[in-house]
Amino acid sequence: MFYREAGDFKTSYKADSQTFPIKFDRYRYYAVLFVAFALIPLVINDYWVNAIFMPFLIYSIAAIGLNILVGYCGQVSLGTGGFMAVGAYAVYKLMTAFPEVNIFFHVILAGGITAFVGVLFGLPSLRIKGFYLAVATLAAQFFLVWLFNRVPWFYNYSASGQISAPERTVFGIEVTGANTDAWATYLFCLVFTFVCALIARNLTRGAQGRKWMAIRDMDIAAEIIGVDPLKAKLSAFAVSSFFVGISGALFFAVYLGAVEVGEVFGINKSFLVLFMVIIGGLGSIFGSFAGAAFLVLLPVFLKNALVGGLGWPTDLAAHLEFMIVGALIIVFLIAEPHGLAQLWRVAKEKLRLWPFPH
């Protein structure tokens, strides 16, 4: 009834090929942006930002990055944790070496450095595919973590090998360090998430994204129709690592504040982000958000419900949490192998016909 193309006349190609061609969808998108940018910062507190919103936003960026590589370009990567570590250590070195430069640029530069490292580790993808490439990126994961643990220069020779973020400001408002306000860190991450999602969306529906998808669907056919696999694959690695690097930088500088590479950026992180992408939906920006939300919010929700609501012992709740999350992942993947994004697509199709289905 509300959700339909009928009556929404487009008079230009630009209007016709916009991201949200349906009016209802468009307004819904604006409403989400309005709530996220204007309303949430007014009511947010430390718990909500540190336990829920910040991990959600930062994991969303990482999931978008990995989705470009895995979902759009078809190159399986298990190196996400390692690339996040590159972003984190890059931003740490930049923050401590150039304290006068704004943290905003440091985060972007950290993304750039990660993109470079990502391209280096993407080179094997020109020769190897599928599971074998996954193993090669797994090597990147272990190598990078080992490197940051082994070479003291990366952690400025601190006794413990930990890196901790010094205080940095944007427009005079602190966004890293201990004395931050909830709304400031939230908005800082939100801006990055919004811009990254916007860039990713527009890249993936343009010529570049079509090249990636052509490589994904059949690389030989893509080569025959004129897609250069070298450029396509390496650009996917670069763009993906750029986003992953930004998420790693924010994860360290804004969210955790102090990081130990082996514990925070280990292989578990790579799998977590990969699961977000798979559960959310391969090849979908919305899916990246949905997957991140699912895996960040569900454990927190279960913990609050079981321990806080029902008053169960914490260890029982923690074990049940693993079982419930695991079971739900299996249920979701059996019911909808294409992830939460596909459920959303199906829901939209149904909404088009509502309330008069055939």
Q: Which residues of the chain form beta strands (DSSP E)? A: 163-164, 169-170, 173-174, 258-259
Positions in the binding site for other proteins (CB under 8 A)? 46-48, 50-52, 55, 149, 159-162, 164, 166-167, 177-179, 255-260, 262-264, 266, 293, 297-298, 300-301, 303-305, 307-309, 313-315, 317-319
Closer CB to other proteins, residue 130 or residue 262? 262
CA geometry: angle at 278 spanning 291 and 26, to 5°?
A: 50
Closer CB to other proteins, residue 238 or residue 317? 317
- Give the shortest CB-322-to-other proteins separation in angstroms: 8
- Give the shortest CB-295-to-other proteins separation in angstroms: 12
- Give the shortest CB-331-to-other proteins separation in angstroms: 16
DSSP string over 166-187 = PP-EETTEE-SSSS--HHHHHH
- Give the shortest CB-308-to-other proteins separation in angstroms: 4
Say how many residues make up the chain: 358
> Residue 244 is which amino acid?
V
- Give the shortest CB-72-to-other proteins separation in angstroms: 27
Closer CB to other proteins, residue 57 or residue 76? 57
Query: 222: closest CA among 74, 119, 123, 118?
Result: 74
CA separation for the pair 300, 248 (Å, rounded)? 21
Query: 118: closest CA among 213, 242, 266, 262?
Result: 242
Closer CB to other proteins, residue 272 or residue 278? 272
How much helix, strand and coil, in percent to the nearest 5, is found in the chain?
A: 75, 0, 25
- Give the shortest CB-115-to-other proteins separation in angstroms: 25
Q: Are 209 and 199 a contacting pair, CB within 8 Å? A: no
3-state secondary structure string across 208-274: HHHHHHHHHHCHHHHHHCCCCHHHHHHHHHHHHHHHHHHHHHHHHHHHHCEECHHHHCCHHHHHHHH
State both tokens at 210.
């079509």
- Give the shortest CB-258-to-other proteins separation in angstroms: 4
Query: For the chain, how far is it from start to end, CA to CA, in angstroms?
Result: 14
- Give the shortest CB-41-to-other proteins separation in angstroms: 16
